[in-house]
Chain A
Amino acid sequence: MRYVGKRVLQAVLVLWGLITVIFFVLHLIPGDPVRAVLGGRASDATVQQVREQLGLDRPLPEQYLRFLTDIVQGNLGTSLALNDQVSHVLGQRLLPSILLIAYGMFFAVLIGVPLGIQAALRPNRAADHIIRLQTTFLFGMPTFWLALVLALLFGLVLGWFPVSGYQTGLGGILRSLTLPALTLGLSLVVIVTRTLRSNLIEVLKSEYIEAARSRGLSERRVIVKHALRNAAMPTLTILSTIIGYLIGSTVVLEQVFRIPGAGSLLVQSILRHDYQTVRAVALLSGLVVIAAGLSADLLQAILDPRVRLAR
């Protein structure tokens, strides 16, 4: 229990630091967000009025305190460009992004797990070579480019999936998210297969696997029930640490496939200088990363008593 408390406290501290960093990065960089959103033709008086309205004319420490209390109360501010509550705008855009990430992870597991198992069981055979090829090719491959190629192939040439837009209904959502999710999944497969492969090889060397085999269990049972269960945990931890990369990818993918998610909201907000919304998206994505790391650690502590006792 002490470990859990310590870990939660640490996460809260990092979150506070994140809020602080975002605040200061956005406030210390030269550039006037109010003038940017109002345009060059706005009169000085208007600019001044909006600045006062947003509290931007107050001293920096006071602005910081207000920002902090607002966030604690769940108030993300008002978007100047959209004339709406940021939390309201953001709330409408969250679901597609969450579905996209979950669907992408599903593809990554669907392709990556069998490949990783094969590669671990038969080193230097087909699956192992596929992993090596993937690693080589995907290293320099931009996600947006892979997305375009998949869209060209499966969307335009074969006509299997829509290449842009977001349809309604469960079937429609799944159909319109398939290509972006597949892109996301493919860019993740390398990480899944490589970690699973090395963990599985490590686990297969251990004594309890030998014991399971000597008890006469079938090889299938040994791998699925005994080895995979222990090799899966580090793989999950890795997935939780790359959630930041995943969020970055969805920003690009939502733009390519014209999906109205939080990522495309971010890009649109930047282009219309709506920095309240940008700030909120940055904050939220950081929160997701911190929460993912925290839950992975806690899950591991529940499943593996050594983690709890070691610290």
Chain B
Amino acid sequence: MRATQPPVPVAVEQKSFVLRAVTSVRELPRSVHIGLVIVIIMVFAAVFAPLLAPYGPDDLNFGASLLPPSPAHLMGTDENGRDLFSRCLYALRLDFLVVFFVTYVSLPFGVVVGAVAGYCGRAADSVIARVTDIMVAVPFLVLVAAVVAVVGPGMTGVLIAVPIISWAMYARLARSEMLVLRELAYMDACIALGFSRFRTIFRHGVPNLLRSSLVFSTVDLMGNLLLLAGLSFLGLGAQPPQSELGAIIADGQSYILTAWWLATLPGLVLVLFGIGVGMVGEGLSDGRVAGRSA
């Protein structure tokens, strides 16, 4: 069995993996670099929020309420004198944590279900295909909101509701990739070599269909971030005093005439992150196309 895997190319590939990664990053278009810098800075800012934030997220200071942006308060202060910049940093931290969790819980589950359905075909496949059709049919926000209605407003609702629904997209993707893979010669070879179904699907199939799901997960990550912000804005996600970008914007809504920065600046944080992710995603898909044709 071992002899069927050619040892030499594998060894070379492993040796130069880091080097290869570095050079391929360097060869990407400039927009990807800019996007990566934006994303990395923001993720770092979120992770190290306790070190970077000049004030605590809930530090009240009634002597300094509703101050416009200034060097002391980069994004101004809210009605309770809380520093908006610090609150946004902590909000990013919470947002990223939740969004990362819900996205990457759904991904493996969806990929496994989709891969098995696509490979086994027949009844299992039709059932999965119809179930995903249904999941995709309902407006995402509405279904999540319905789950929140039962669980009760708060982060728990979001943490339960999003994975319940969003695995379906990954299952769909993985299934359609598996339908193509199944017909390829090397999958036939796996059967001919007497590999178990499990090994054929997970050792030889899944690694090859994972890429599309991973690419989609960056878009999904952004979508979940906006969903979480939207739910919190509606009062269904993060509950006070948790700082979450959507909730901060909702709080600022009532001061929009007297303190414009409260509702607008936290939104710009989301827009900026979206620009970063978008540049990386767009550049990567362009780069892949170019690489393929070369």
Chain A contacts to B: CB under 8 angstroms: 13-14, 17-18, 21-22, 25-26, 29-31, 33, 36, 135-145, 148-149, 151-152, 156, 244-245, 247-248, 251-252, 255-256, 266-267, 269-271, 273, 275, 278-279, 281-282, 285-286, 289-290, 293
Given A17-B130, A136-B279; 10 other pairs, CB 8 A cutoff: A13-B130, A22-B146, A137-B275, A140-B273, A252-B234, A267-B145, A270-B149, A282-B138, A282-B143, A290-B137
Known: A144-B233, A156-B257. A149 touches B137 (CB 8 A): no
Known: A149-B264, A151-B256, A282-B146. A14 touches B134 (CB 8 A): yes
Known: A140-B274, A148-B256, A271-B235. A18 touches B249 (CB 8 A): no
The reply to whether B278 and A140 contact each other, CB–CB distance below 8 Å, is yes
Q: Can you offer 14 A-B residue contacts whose CB atoms are under 8 A?
A: A14-B130, A14-B134, A29-B147, A29-B150, A139-B275, A140-B222, A140-B272, A142-B226, A148-B264, A152-B256, A247-B142, A251-B234, A273-B149, A289-B139
B270 proximal to A (CB < 8 A): yes
Cα distance A140–B213 in the bound complex, in angstroms: 20
A142: B residues at CB distance < 8 A: 226, 229-230, 233, 246, 249, 267, 270
Q: Give the contacts of B236-294 with A (CB-CB under 8 A).
A: 236, 246, 249, 253, 256-257, 260, 263-264, 267, 270-279, 282
Known: A140-B272, A140-B273. A148 touches B253 (CB 8 A): yes
The reply to whether A248 and B150 contact each other, CB–CB distance below 8 Å, is no
Number of A-B contacts (CB under 8 A): 173
Cα distance A17–B136 in the bound complex, in angstroms: 12
B37 proximal to A (CB < 8 A): no
The reply to whether B142 and A21 contact each other, CB–CB distance below 8 Å, is no
The reply to whether A33 and B222 contact each other, CB–CB distance below 8 Å, is no
B53 proximal to A (CB < 8 A): no
Residue of B nearest to A248 (CB): B141
B135 proximal to A (CB < 8 A): yes
Most chain B CB within 10 A, of A17, A36, A138, A139, is at A139
Report the minimum CB–CB distance from B132 to chain A (whole Å): 10
Cα distance A1–B235 in the bound complex, in angstroms: 48
A14: B residues at CB distance < 8 A: 130, 133-134, 137
The reply to whether B139 and A285 contact each other, CB–CB distance below 8 Å, is yes
The reply to whether B130 and A285 contact each other, CB–CB distance below 8 Å, is no
Residue of B nearest to A135 (CB): B278
Report the minimum CB–CB distance from A269 to chain B (whole Å): 7
B282: A residues at CB distance < 8 A: 135-136
Pick from A13, A26, A139: contact of B222, CB under 8 Å? A139
B160: A residues at CB distance < 8 A: 29
The reply to whether A25 and B164 contact each other, CB–CB distance below 8 Å, is yes
A281: B residues at CB distance < 8 A: 142, 146
A140: B residues at CB distance < 8 A: 222, 225-226, 270-278
B152 proximal to A (CB < 8 A): yes
Residue of B nearest to A241 (CB): B136
The reply to whether B236 and A270 contact each other, CB–CB distance below 8 Å, is yes
Residue of B nearest to A140 (CB): B274
A290: B residues at CB distance < 8 A: 137
Residue-wise, chain B 143-183 has the 8 Å CB interface mask toward A (1 for contact) of 10111111111000000100010000000000000000000
B133: A residues at CB distance < 8 A: 14, 17
B100 proximal to A (CB < 8 A): no
Cα distance A268–B152 in the bound complex, in angstroms: 13
Pick from B136, B146, B236: contact of A25, CB under 8 Å? B146
Pick from B130, B134, B145: contact of A266, CB under 8 Å? B145
B41 proximal to A (CB < 8 A): no
Pick from A139, A267, A273: contact of B234, CB under 8 Å? A267
Residue of B nearest to A277 (CB): B149
